[in-house]
Amino acid sequence: MKKYDYFKKVLSFNILNGYVVFEIETLYKNRANLILYMDDNGILRLMFYRNGNKEPNKIVDFKPIHGKIDAYDRNNKIIVKNGDYCVLINKDPYNISFMHKGEFVLKEQIRDFDADDHFKIYPSGFVLDDNMYCHANFNITSDEHFYGMGEKYMGLDKREKNITCWQRDALSTSTEYAYKNIPFFISTNGYGFLLNSFVRSNFDFGYSSGISLNVTLEEKCMDYYVFLDEDYKKILDKYTLVSGKTPMIPKWAFGLWMSKCSYMSQDEVLNVAEKLRKYKIPCDVIHIDSWMRKASAGDLCWDRKRYPNPELMIKTLHDMGFKLSIWVWPYIMEGCERYYEALEKGYLVKDEFGDVYKFYPTKLSNEKVAAFDFTNGGFREWYSSFIRHLSDMGVDVIKTDFSEALSEKCIFADGSSGIEGHNKYCFLYSQTVYKALNYKNNDKIIWCRSGYAGSQKYPAHWAGDSFSSLNTLSYILKGGLSLGLSGISFWAHDMGGFYNADFENEEASSSKDEYIRSVEFGFLSPLSRCHGKTPREPWNFDDETLDIFKKFDKLRYKLLPYVYSMAYKSSKSGVPIIRPLFLEFPKDLNAYNVENGYFLGDSLLIYPVFDKDNINIYLPDGLWYDFWGGKEIQGGKWIKEEVPLNRIPIYIRCNSIIPMMSSECQFIEDNAFDEVSLLVYAKENTEFEFYDGNEVKHIFAEVNGGIHIKADCKVNDIKFVNGIK
């Protein structure tokens, strides 16, 4: 049975160069150190460790900008202040509280007892005889709620949930398992929290006890950041200032991607490209999963039997206006030449006995694989040389699939155990590929399944393997919204669903309704990619499906100046492109209960249709306009709408300007946004910051006896308070 050695009292404190060090005595008379960093912008970092154990397995080593810290001892309390931000430390018994503008925002929990006067959840501290375990316990207020924690599909609010940050091959998008667990959340009490560790951790949000938020870490040092602000958007800005902002990605990435698992030859790829142009389906990217030889998957070499001239294929695709995306995984099959080279150089992950760790990458795999060791600096350079070669060939995107399967018993080259290195491995894999692919210019991206805190620096991401069923779409949306509240904004899901099955457990195609509803949702997501085990090209369905697909594809392209501008804003602010209603209306309690709708940027409110055509829609307070017909609607109420198969509810916020493409196109060129048309919904003076790929340009709508437009960009056409039919 574990013996918890929790903090009892503060023995002393010292103010050093911009931070404060506290010496603390534990229950069993051991000594611990606690370090507090604090800046004048509400970013705080707190570390505690037993004497002699100071080096955490950290994600970032961000030292808050040191402002003027005042610290003084008064009536059994130590008060540390910086402007409106204050940390209050009770000396005996030990307790710490975080305050903003005189209000308590977060405090540690030291009084969670049962009826026998025993702790249900112990106060912050360690386990007595376990050097690799620490925890922090915080108080949960009665009306507090929590959001974020990565791409979590099972609901936006994490209160009363128990979440382990351990990346999994989730095999679906409707369970608690997730590809992207991120140890960051936002509280409605006005703070954000980042656990600064790659090590396996657990967040108990009132699951074991309704009054305690317990964060446990299989590590010798607890290291976390607190971001204080009553504005959720400012919390996200502070969090991404610490963990990294998202670099802007090219315009073409926001167009349509066409893919399946998999195109099997050069002829098939070029045939799909020709059909996309023949049917006049705007599209910018074609993806290939299967381009290596199956027997040597992982060696990053083209299968020249199926792709006899990949250089010519890439040139042909580029000439047609397509970018090329290809698949990789971080594993390698035994038996190929590059496997033995990696083995000789010591570039493969080891098991607990020092042998190469071999495992089945999926449940249905017949052959074991080995894993490249991305913690090894020499390996990363070796591997990057092959990625750079692919970049030189003209490959525009690399899909970084898998990476979540490594066991806790693995041993990595940097000395990490499996528990320490499992999440870090996923992060380093995508980081390595992204940097190598962009070694010349920052004009290429990855397409990543896994991710962690800071992974937003290596865009973009997708939701993993989703079932085609209509009710699965609602869970994909929850995952995307949670991920956006965790810092990752450039995200998509497999339009049409990745897989489907019949009652014989055989792969089946998506139904017409499943395909169309998924496509409508996908075209109004941050990024839009069709992908699945069966064909996802719309001409494989009936004429109505093809027509609806083209309708929403063209709408997607028409909206790209708006979407691209919102993406640029997101890259600077950390505020996601798709966002829950409460992020725009934080004082509207109804908005917190909406999980079936979302904002696409600042102005478009979207309600995708899932398994019911008759849906409930909540419009927050204010005026709204039906995008399709232009009807004005007073908000602050629920409405019910019967939605035909060729429609998705879209509402425009009053006082919005929507820049749009001024003409149709088949793919996005560099100068695509040189000229735009405008949709203007204005009753007051309104401004839009339009990003054309080079600079931000301002568009003003002045309301003074009429609406007058002033723009820094070339405007081709203007429509006032009017929908598209």
> Which residues are the active-site residues?
401, 404
At residue 649, what are phi and psi to the nearest 5 degrees?
-65, 125
Spatial separation of the C-alpha atoms in residues 413 and 630, rounded to whole Å: 61
What distance in Å separates the CA atoms of residue 81 and residue 75, rounded to the nearest whole number? 16
Strand partners, 430: none
Partnered with residue 164 across adjacent β-strands are: 202
What is the amino acid identity at position 366? Answer: N
Residues 6+ apart with CB under 8 A from 590: 618, 620, 638
**CA–CA separation, 268 and 286 (whole Å):** 11
Residue 444 corresponds to which amino acid?
Answer: K
Give the C-alpha separation, 324 to 595, whole Å: 35
Give the largest Cα separation in the chain, rounded.
Answer: 80
What letters, b where the CB count within 10 A reaches 16 and e where it falls short, cover 68-77?
A: ebebeeeeee
> How far is it, in rounded angstroms, from Cα 165 to Cα 257?
30
Write the DSSP string, 427-480: HHHHHHHHHHHTSS-S--EEEES---TTGGGS--EE--S-B-STTHHHHHHHHH
Structure tokens at 696: 């931000």
Angle formed at CA 649 by CA 648 and CA 652, multiple of 5 degrees: 130
**Alpha helices of 371-417 — where are they, by DSSP H?**
377-393
Residue 4 Cα to chain centre, angstroms: 35
* Distances, alpha carbon 331 to alpha carbons 264, 361, 362, 566, 567, in Å: 21, 8, 12, 36, 33
Assess contact for 522 and 495: CB atoms under 8 A. yes
Q: How far apart are CA 328 and CA 374, in angstroms?
A: 14
3-state secondary structure of 409: coil
DSSP letter at 671? Answer: T
Q: How many CB atoms lie within 10 A of CB 113?
A: 12
Side-by-side strand order, sheet with 578-579: 578-579, 598-600, 604-606, 650-653, 623-626, 632-634
The type of residue at 652 is I
**Cβ atoms 451, 488 nearer than 8 A:** yes
Q: What angle do CA 569, 575, 106 make, to 5 degrees?
A: 150
SS in 3 state form for 198-257? CCCEEEEECCCCCCEEEEEECCCEEEEEEEECCCHHHHHHHHHHHHCCCCCCCHHHHCEE
Contact between residue 265 and residue 271 where contact means Cβ atoms under 8 Å apart: no
